A and B are shown apart, each in its own frame.
Chain A
Amino acid sequence: QEQLVESGGGVVQPGRSLRLSCVASGFSFSNYAMHWVRQAPGKGLEWVAVISYDGSNKNYGDSVKGRFTISRDNSRNTLYLEMNSLRTEETALYFCARARGSTWYEWPVYWGQGTLVTVSS
């Protein structure tokens, strides 16, 4: 059964960094592109980043470009999101999601349960 488990969330001060992880199981992780999507409390979804199946292509939402880095380790079936210079407005539940296919322009299909990031002093 397909499963995505995010971790690494917590409370962090503004301007600091945090790295999120997402461990995949139940499907061939190395064959699929992967997304990060976040949801602020009581708000809608905001797409954050996507990475192609082999990590060769990455794309980011405008609000995180230059500060966040998406990466993956296919040998560990793990997706990462390195977040730098965090802002209070980035307090949100961060979801990882498997894409429909291997390329970075494929949409999110299956989602994990999310990990909560709270940016507060």
Chain B
Amino acid sequence: GQNIDQPTEMTATEGAIVQINCTYQTSGFNGLFWYQQHAGEAPTFLSYNVLDGLEEKGRFSSFLSRSKGYSYLLLKELQMKDSASYLCAVLDSNYQLIWGAGTKLIIKP
């Protein structure tokens, strides 16, 4: 079966750094997405990785290791507005997105 695992909840302090991990087992792989979802709102795109390595975009970076079936999202200089759920999703061989349940990130002052 297809499976995406990520922690249910994480807590971090404003100004700090947090890493949200995602491991996956899917039928085929055409890339991995990270989305942000604030409570009561729609998911919005953060990043896409298809090759191994780190992609940096401002305060957010995303890393992929295809051989390990592993990705992480790194958030630096945390701000209160970063409190949200972070969704990991893998594009499988049929180009359908398989979604993880999301990681709820709580930022404390």
Q: Is B one of A's binding partners? A: no
Q: Which A residues contact B (CB, under 8 angstroms)?
A: none
